[in-house]
Amino acid sequence: MNIGIDIMGGDYAPEEAIKGVISYLKSISDQEEDIHFVLIGNPDIAGPYLAALEQWEGSYTLIPSASVIGMHEHPTKALKEKQDSSIAIGFGLLQMGKIDAFIGAGNTGAMLVGAMYTVKAIPGVLRPTIASPIPKLNGRYNFLLDVGANADCKPEHLVQFAVMGSLYAKHVLDLDNPRVALLNLGEEEGKGNILAQATYPLLKQHSGINFTGNVEGRDLFLDNSDVIVCEGFTGNVALKIAESVYHIFAEQKKIQDPFLDQFNFEIYGGTPILGVNAPVLIGHGISNQPAFKSMIENAVKLVKSNFTQILHNHFAEKAEA
C-alpha cells in the first residue's frame, strides 16, 4: 500500500514528519515491506532531512510541491489558488488512487475541504465528520464525534455519525459491540434540545448500533460509553475543554497522572475524517515524530481493515433498502 504524507504540514515540518516515517520503518518487520511512502514536499527544504532516509530509499518517493497552505489561510480559497501546495497535490494523488491514504498536519480546514472536493463523500453519507478520542479514567477512550466539521446538524446526520463512529470503533479500534451514546443535558429519554430529542428515538430504533442512551457532560471522561455523538458545535466546545484540562493540569501544574498522559495526542496521532472515499488523517499542528508515527499506524490500519469499503457497503445497503 502507498501512504501519502504532507511533509510540509504542521509546526515542525518537514523534520518531524520524516522522523515519524523513519520511526515507523524501524518498527515494522520485513513482512510488512509492502508499505511504500509517498512524501509530498519541497525538495529544497526537505532535502537535508531526507538524507536520514537513505537506508530505506526504496521505501519512499518524494513528490515535489512548490507551496504550502498556511495554518490561517482560508481553506477553499487557498486550495483553489495553491494547486502546487503539498495538500492539493496530496489529495490529487489520493483521488487518482496513487496513494491509499493521506496524512497531513497542516491547515485542518484545507484537509477537510480537500477531502470533500477530491475523494468526496461516500455515496449515502450526508456529512463526513471529524472525530476525536477523549481519554477515560479507566485508561480507554471515548470516541467523540462530530468535533467541529458540522456545526449545525439534523437528526439524520447524528444517526450517521453514530453509525460511522460505531463501525470505526469496531473495525479500527477493535471494540466488540461498541456502546453508542447521545451527548445530552440529562440522562432520561425526552431530555434535550429539539435536535437531541428528535435524534434519541432514531438511535434507539436503529438496528445497526448498540445505542445505550444519553450521556451528560460529566460522563465525558467516564466509561459509560465508547462512542459519543453530538453536533459539531457542542462537540468542539467539549473537546477544547478536555484539551484545556491537559494543558492546565499536566503542562502548567506539572501533575503526573496516567489519566493525563492519555491526553497526549502523540498516542493517538491524528483525527480521521469519517465518511469520505479514502482514509484521510488530520494531525495537530504541533505534531511531532511520535504523532506522525501514530498517524501512519492508524492509516495502515484503516487501509488494511478496508474501512472505506465497510462504510461503502453499509451506506450502499441503506440506499438499496
Q: Which residues bind its own copies (CB under 8 A)?
A: 137, 148, 151-152, 183, 185, 192-194, 196, 216-222, 230-234, 236-245, 247-249, 252-253, 255, 257, 259
Query: Which three cell numbers, joined as nine digits, stand for 68?
Result: 504550502
Helix residue spans in 14-107 (DSSP H): 15-27, 43-50, 75-81, 86-96
What are the φ/ψ torsions at residue 193 (nearest 5 degrees)?
A: -80, 180
Helices (H) and strands (E) in the chain, counts: 12, 11
Which residue lies nearer to its own copies by CB, 66 or 248?
248
Q: Least distance (Å) from its own copies to the CB of residue 188?
A: 9
Q: Give 62's strand partners.
A: 39
Which residue lies nearer to its own copies by CB, 199 or 298?
199
Q: At residue 6, what is the residue type?
A: D
Which residue lies nearer to its own copies by CB, 42 or 234?
234
Q: For 122, which DSSP code?
A: P
Which residue lies nearer to its own copies by CB, 52 or 255?
255
Assess contact for 177 and 238: CB atoms under 8 A. Answer: no
Q: Least distance (Å) from its own copies to the CB of residue 171?
A: 28
Q: Least distance (Å) from its own copies to the CB of residue 216?
A: 5
Minimal CA–CA distance to 162: which of 176, 185, 179, 184? 179
CA distance 187 to 149: 26
Which residue lies nearer to its own copies by CB, 80 or 240?
240
CA distance 12 to 194: 43
Q: Least distance (Å) from its own copies to the CB of residue 26?
A: 35
Assess contact for 118 and 141: CB atoms under 8 A. Answer: no
Q: Least distance (Å) from its own copies to the CB of residue 33?
A: 42
Which residue lies nearer to its own copies by CB, 5 or 130?
130
Which residue lies nearer to its own copies by CB, 52 or 151?
151
Q: Least distance (Å) from its own copies to the CB of residue 230?
A: 8
CA distance 69 to 75: 8
Those residues whose C-beta lies under 8 Å from the C-beta of residue 9, and which sit 6 or more positions away, are 17, 68, 86, 87, 104, 105, 106, 107, 283
Q: Least distance (Å) from its own copies to the CB of residue 73?
A: 12
